[in-house]
Amino acid sequence: MSDETPNSVTMQKDGEVAVIIVNNPPVNALSWHVREGLKTHFEAALADDGVKAIVLRCDGATFIAGADISEFGKPPRGPDFNAVLNMIEAAAKPVVAAIHGTALGGGLETALVCHYRVAVPSAKLGVPEVKLGLLPGAGGTQRLPRVVGVEAAATMTSLGDPVPAPKAKEMGLVDELAGEDSLAADAIAFARARIADGPRPTREREVFGDVAAIEQLKAKNAKRWRGFEAPYANLACVEAATRLPFDEGLAFERQEFMKLMMGSQSAAQRHIFFAERQAAKIDGLPKDIKLRDVKKVGIIGAGTMGGGIMMNFLQKGIPCTIVEMQQEALDRGLGVVRKNYDASAAKGRFKPEQVESMMGLITPSLELEALADCDLIIEAVYENMDVKKEIFGKLDKIAKPGAILASNTSYLDVNEIAASTSRPGDVLGMHFFSPANVMKLLEVVRGDKTADDVLATAMATGKKIGKVAVVAGVCHGFIGNRMLAPRQIEAQKLLLEGATPAQVDKVHVDFGMPMGPFQMSDLAGVDIGWHRDPNRIESIRDALCAEGRWGQKKQAGFYDYDDKRNPSESPRVAEIIEEFRQKAGVEKREISDQEIVERTLYPMVNEGALILEEGKAQRASDIDVVWIYGYGWPVYRGGPMFWAGLEGTDKIAAALEKHGFEVAPLLKEKAAAKAGF
Ligand code: 3HC
């Protein structure tokens, strides 16, 4: 070991048992110095005749949580991971992994070369590499089928979900459950008892189970895995384990791992892993800023958004007061919440008594005064500035000092809303995405006067209720909807020029989006934001709305729908488009799929560049997080700003210019340097 090596692995002895301890906070990732430390100490323990068995355990919050992802793509340093693992597996003395917290990825692969595994009941074991666009590249796909069988190995690797220790014990992945507070001692005792048995190298065990399980998994998850490479590569490796000798299987796994590692999908997924964690950080704010207490939440509006927002808090045991203007609307709103919870209970997500206790946390009211004791009040009424200002003016008089006043507006000026109170420092936007109890994104909109602790509390509250919160500045539509606008405008123009809604949507779905612009419009409601004057027809959308084609809810929008909401192309919509085309004097032409990409996706990058220039997003990766978690941008493309780097900012800028767009200065700058964001 060199002098500069951090002391991240140490060894102690308990009689004839050597205990090798990893300590590399925060998650004991297998950084180069950990690999070096493991090599050094295992070599020492193996050479020591007084040592008859070895325990590997970790200090801190967790067992090894995987390879050090921040080392990926950098020049290799320290010993090769597979070589270290092979040495441990070949040890002539029994080796026991003592697991607490999470044994993930390379962490579980390390545990798999140990001859035995002991874990506390709260531990979780898994191979989540697939979520990073990868596969377990240190023997995981070859050793797991030898320990848990083909079906479980295929499931664990392709879905990436960790298994709780008690289940892992049933599966044979864990040999013994230790006491929650006595892992170190229990593991030593277990190791001592194995001295007589000797080592049990996993590679020498037989693969078992039915290979048909692999095809069944593929069929079951076809929709979920659309566009993804990694789940299939994981399954190919597990399948290889069923027919190749161990070392050949390992070579196959290595080859597949390298393919994924060099590809753009994994780069994108790793980008999002860090982007998601980065988004929680607020530039310029001390990390330890004192947060305000949020023990009781008020919601104004029991519509779809209000009810959905409230469900997030109830699920975390936080009592909510919900206010509506009419009893009927209140009853209807609470009825929907109950129905949603009952449906989840029927699927086994909640126990019936949990539903009752969550419903019991609600205080319904028809009076804003009922919000006087709430720490956080979220207004979720319809988008009308005057209505919002009136509500905030009243809240100013009702809410207790220090209460946070948030608007769920998706477009409106949060500064103007804040100005209707005498405490603009307490006001900000908390923009949830529909369905608010499901979608993970929360845009936290920071007004000019929003106090730092109010912002930090809103971000922390978002995390607490399971959201990925992103800070946005005040501008029309904030980050997500602002970038959506140019896409929708251009999509409509393309219809006039000759594309069909189905063609535009198909390009987006093939790109990996869950749906295209017109499918989204039909789902959300074509009439959202419509001026509601059937005689004022200035766009194709106005014409659709005037005819009552408001989308799926009316079984007619940009598409026709049958009773089961199956869409079909609409001859009437084609007529409306044709009428408009003639009125506008536009000649119909063939539109290529590439042109649709250039005119609907590239302008989003351009808008994103403007958002960055104006400081409305803290960083490009925050914009990516917004699009991944709020709009279903395919994670394997890393979000619009990351994708711009893959696509080529120079190519994007040139195409935008060709189509007559004004290119954002920041995009021009990146294009000139051929750089990403
Ligand atoms: N490498 C490098 N850094 C990591 C890391 C890893 N494997 N896992 C977590 N971190 C970092 C995070 O970026 C974060 O850093 P920050 O504080 O600077 O933002 C910090 O550790 C704490 O992470 P979380 O905020 O996620 O902490 P939680 O307590 O919420 O979660 C966890 C802990 C469950 C371990 C979670 O971090 C996690 O899921 N990590 C990734 C696990 C994983 O994917 N492992 C497989 C890696 S690939 C691999 O092993 C390849 C091999 O097969 C060859």
Condensed to tens digits (0 to 9), the pLDDT of residues 431-451 reads 999 899 999 999 999 999 999
Condensed to tens digits (0 to 9), the pLDDT of residues 478-489 reads 999 999 999 999
**Long-range Cβ contacts of 42-50 (<8 Å, 24+ apart):** 42/84, 42/87, 42/88, 42/91, 43/87, 44/11, 45/11, 45/18, 45/20, 45/93, 46/91, 46/92, 46/93, 48/18, 50/13, 50/16
> Which position has the token pair 């929008």?
557
Whether the CB of 101 sits within 6 Å of ligand 1: no
Ligand 1 pocket: which of 8, 22, 27, 163 to mutate (most atoms within 8 A of CB): 27
Model pLDDT, residue 2: 47
Distance 549 CA to ligand 1 centre (A): 48
Burial 650-668 (b: 16+ CB within 10 A, else e): bebbebbeeeebebbebbb
Classify residue 350: in a domain, yes or no: yes
* CA-closest candidate to residue 640, choices 652, 656, 655, 658: 652
| Percentage of the chain exceeding pLDDT 90 | 95
Classify residue 99: in a domain, yes or no: yes
Whether the CB of 132 sits within 6 Å of ligand 1: yes
* Phi–psi pair at 601, nearest 5 degrees: -95, -40
Confidence of residue 151 (pLDDT cuts 50, 70, 90): very high
Classify residue 88: in a domain, yes or no: yes
Could you identify the atom of ligand 1 that is nearest to the CA of residue 132? 44
Domain boundary among 584, 600, 617: 584
Does 551 lie in the same domain as 464? Answer: no
Whether the CB of 29 sits within 6 Å of ligand 1: yes
Model pLDDT, residue 658: 97
Distance 230 CA to ligand 1 centre (A): 19
Classify residue 221: in a domain, yes or no: no
Ligand 1 pocket: which of 68, 69, 463 to mutate (most atoms within 8 A of CB): 69
Q: How far apart are CA 105 and CA 88, in angstroms?
A: 17
Does 444 lie in the same domain as 508? Answer: no
Distance 426 CA to ligand 1 centre (A): 34
Distance 149 CA to ligand 1 centre (A): 27
**pLDDT at residue 108 greater than cutoff 50:** yes
Helix/strand/coil for 441: strand
Whether the CB of 168 sits within 6 Å of ligand 1: no
Whether the CB of 144 sits within 6 Å of ligand 1: no
Condensed to tens digits (0 to 9), the pLDDT of residues 373-424 reads 999 999 999 889 999 999 999 999 999 999 999 999 999 999 999 999 999 9
Average of per-residue pLDDT across 579-591: 93
C-alpha distances (whole Å) from 651 to each of 9, 411, 598, 636 are 48, 31, 10, 20
Model pLDDT, residue 546: 95
Classify residue 106: in a domain, yes or no: yes
Does 503 lie in the same domain as 470? Answer: no
Start-to-end Cα distance in the chain: 39
Q: Which residue puts its alpha carbon closest to atom 26 of ligand 1?
A: 277
Q: Which residue puts its alpha carbon closest to atom 33 of ligand 1?
A: 27
Average of per-residue pLDDT across 323-352: 95
Whether the CB of 105 sits within 6 Å of ligand 1: yes
Could you identify the atom of ligand 1 that is nearest to the CA of residue 106? 50
Q: How far apart are CA 668 and CA 140, in angstroms?
A: 45
**Long-range Cβ contacts of 618-621 (<8 Å, 24+ apart):** 618/282, 618/283, 618/471, 619/278, 620/677, 621/271, 621/274, 621/275, 621/278, 621/279
> Which position has the token pair 């074509």?
526
Distance 113 CA to ligand 1 centre (A): 21
> Which position has the token pair 């189970």?
209
Whether the CB of 138 sits within 6 Å of ligand 1: yes
DSSP label at 549?
-
Whether the CB of 308 sits within 6 Å of ligand 1: no
Distance 334 CA to ligand 1 centre (A): 39
In Å, the largest CA–CA distance within the chain is: 93
14 Cβ contact list (under 8 Å, min separation 6): 188
**468-473 and 441-446 beta bridge pairing:** parallel
Does 579 lie in the same domain as 539? Answer: yes
Does 466 lie in the same domain as 419? Answer: yes
Q: How far apart are CA 423 and CA 416, in angstroms?
A: 12
* Number of domain units in the chain: 3
Tokens of 1: 């070991």
DSSP label at 419?
T
Q: Which residue puts its alpha carbon closest to atom 36 of ligand 1?
A: 65
Q: How far apart are CA 590 and CA 463, in angstroms?
A: 47
3-state helix, strand, coil in the chain (%, to 5): 50, 15, 40
Does 409 lie in the same domain as 526? Answer: no
Is the separation of the CB atoms in 1 and 37 below 8 Å?
A: yes
Classify residue 634: in a domain, yes or no: no
Confidence of residue 4 (pLDDT cuts 50, 70, 90): low
Average of per-residue pLDDT across 108-127: 98
Whether the CB of 517 sits within 6 Å of ligand 1: no
* Phi–psi pair at 524, nearest 5 degrees: -75, -30
Average of per-residue pLDDT across 164-169: 98
Domain boundary among 584, 610, 641: 584
pTM over 0.90: yes
Could you identify the atom of ligand 1 that is nearest to the CA of residue 135? 53
Distance 65 CA to ligand 1 centre (A): 6
Does 107 lie in the same domain as 13? Answer: yes
Is the separation of the CB atoms in 236 and 256 below 8 Å?
A: yes
Q: What is the DSSP string of 61-129?
A: T-S---B-GGGTTSPP-SS-HHHHHHHHHT-SS-EEEEE-SEEETHHHHHHHHSSEEEE-TT-EEE-GG
Average of per-residue pLDDT across 221-232: 97
Count how many Cα atoms sit within 13 Å of the Cα of residue 502 in the half-sphere of its side chain.
Answer: 9
Average of per-residue pLDDT across 57-63: 97
Exposed, middle or buried: residue 291 (CB in 10 Å: 0-12, 13-18, 19+)? Answer: middle
Does 530 lie in the same domain as 444? Answer: no
**pLDDT at residue 1 greater than cutoff 70:** no
Q: Which residue puts its alpha carbon closest to atom 9 of ligand 1?
A: 27
Whether the CB of 447 sits within 6 Å of ligand 1: no
Whether the CB of 277 sits within 6 Å of ligand 1: yes
Whether the CB of 70 sits within 6 Å of ligand 1: yes
Q: Which residue puts its alpha carbon closest to atom 15 of ligand 1?
A: 277
Condensed to tens digits (0 to 9), the pLDDT of residues 10-39 reads 999 999 999 999 999 999 999 999 999 999
Condensed to tens digits (0 to 9), the pLDDT of residues 271-301 reads 999 999 999 999 999 888 999 999 999 999 9
Is the separation of the CB atoms in 455 and 447 below 8 Å?
A: no
Is the separation of the CB atoms in 636 and 133 below 8 Å?
A: yes
Confidence of residue 5 (pLDDT cuts 50, 70, 90): low
The amino acid sitting at 87 is M
Model pLDDT, residue 287: 82
| Cis bond before residue 162 (omega within 30° of 0) | no
Does 57 lie in the same domain as 186? Answer: yes
Does 24 lie in the same domain as 85? Answer: yes
* Phi–psi pair at 421, nearest 5 degrees: -120, 170
C-alpha distances (whole Å) from 606 to each of 435, 495, 618 are 28, 22, 16
Could you identify the atom of ligand 1 that is nearest to the CA of residue 131? 44
> 91 lies in which domain range?
9-130+138-151+161-202
- Paired with 12 in beta bridges are 19
CATH of the domain at 385: 3.40.50.720
Average of per-residue pLDDT across 362-383: 97
**pLDDT at residue 586 greater than cutoff 50:** yes
Distance 101 CA to ligand 1 centre (A): 12
Does 166 lie in the same domain as 18? Answer: yes
Helix/strand/coil for 539: coil
Whether the CB of 160 sits within 6 Å of ligand 1: no
Whether the CB of 25 sits within 6 Å of ligand 1: no
Distance 204 CA to ligand 1 centre (A): 31
Q: How far apart are CA 630 and CA 626, in angstroms?
A: 5
Burial 312-341 (b: 16+ CB within 10 A, else e): bbbbeebbbbbbbeeeeebeebbebbbebb
Distance 63 CA to ligand 1 centre (A): 12
* CA-closest candidate to residue 107, choices 7, 34, 199: 34
Q: What is the DSSP string of 257-270?
A: HHHHHHSHHHHHHH
> Which position has the token pair 């692999």?
214
CATH of the domain at 538: 1.10.1040.50
CATH of the domain at 69: 3.90.226.10
Could you identify the atom of ligand 1 that is nearest to the CA of residue 140? 53
Confidence of residue 3 (pLDDT cuts 50, 70, 90): very low
Does 508 lie in the same domain as 413? Answer: no
Q: How far apart are CA 674 and CA 649, in angstroms?
A: 6
Considering just the CA atoms, what is the radius of gyration of the chain in Å? 28
Condensed to tens digits (0 to 9), the pLDDT of residues 508-564 reads 999 999 999 999 999 989 998 788 898 999 889 999 999 999 999 999 999 999 999
Q: Active-site positions?
A: 109, 129
In which region does residue 477 sit, left (phi positive, over 0), alpha (psi from -120 to 50) or beta (all else)? left
Classify residue 629: in a domain, yes or no: no
Q: Give the ranges where 366-437 is alpha helix by DSSP (H).
A: 385-398, 414-418
Tokens of 105: 């990825």
Q: How far apart are CA 275 and CA 193, in angstroms?
A: 46
In which region does residue 407 sit, left (phi positive, over 0), alpha (psi from -120 to 50) or beta (all else)? beta
Classify residue 460: in a domain, yes or no: yes
Instruction: Considering only residues 134 and 531, tell me which one the structure prediction assigns the higher pLDDT.
Output: 134
Q: Mean pLDDT, the chain, as a whole number?
A: 96
Helix/strand/coil for 409: coil
**404-407 and 376-379 beta bridge pairing:** parallel
